[in-house]
Structure 1
């Protein structure tokens, strides 16, 4: 289990056991890091991850609080780690994406209007070079939606959109725990965009394959190692 995951598990156990309740403030960072046997950097990453999924509320100058979610909703939210580590279905969704998205991207390179290609470029520019993880994932989902729409095939577009949601949390977790995830994602998006703009369907398909396969491989090795045996 990754260090960040260990920190999250420790905080989760404090909540599940009732030691800290919704609305309570977490112990001070230094105290909690010592208690969990972790570095303060690892603890900060865990707090950041849990704040993104609304389990914790970080209040500047005041401290970090457990949200006021009901115990049932809180436990349901915490199952995201179980989903990522024990449920291989996310890999199956990515396998399907790896099959169909290169074809859709090749079609987009041939069929997208000039205006749509320009809109795709503006979408990439808006995110900047150092987005937050939630901004990165939101931008990623919209980028792939625009590509799907550009394929000109409504059925394919609908299918690709249906595949985006089941892999969203995995992509969020990759952004939080893989150091170069942001840089790689943005570079791969630009490679896809350049190929679409250049009306190069084969290059666009290859770039899409590299992009999806990279996410899939990282999840195989980092999130669900049991599936690689």
Structure 2
């Protein structure tokens, strides 16, 4: 695999991560591909094995690679829903992020709802109607209302067939 370039000695694991992500974006690495063994990959990139291990652990946490003990390291299916799974942590870091998220939702949700309306199944429509009924508890039961709202948004997302 000659696509793996030499990483400058001053670089850290982040540079290795960036390079491997670039190879994925450029389609030089594809879902299901097995990376070369750690020793070989470290030699190809001219990086230390500890730096490579750190980079691979980072990519594993990001759900970009899967580390299979005894088998090797593989590029995951790169499913968007798995890749965005940790965004809730990003939003929890700063209160202003919630305002930004709310502003973005106001822009995107009408389009997502239109998309969902085109693809919704009878079963999803029934689930959606049940959420609306459950949400009628309103201020009398804030926990039940919140759960109904969360379920409603989940069903709309599912019906849109778009994980974002």
TM-score of the superposed pair, with normalisation by structure 2 = 0.43
Compute the TM-score of the two structures, normalised by the length of structure 1.
0.31
Higher CA-based Rg? 2
The answer to which structure has the higher helix fraction is: 1
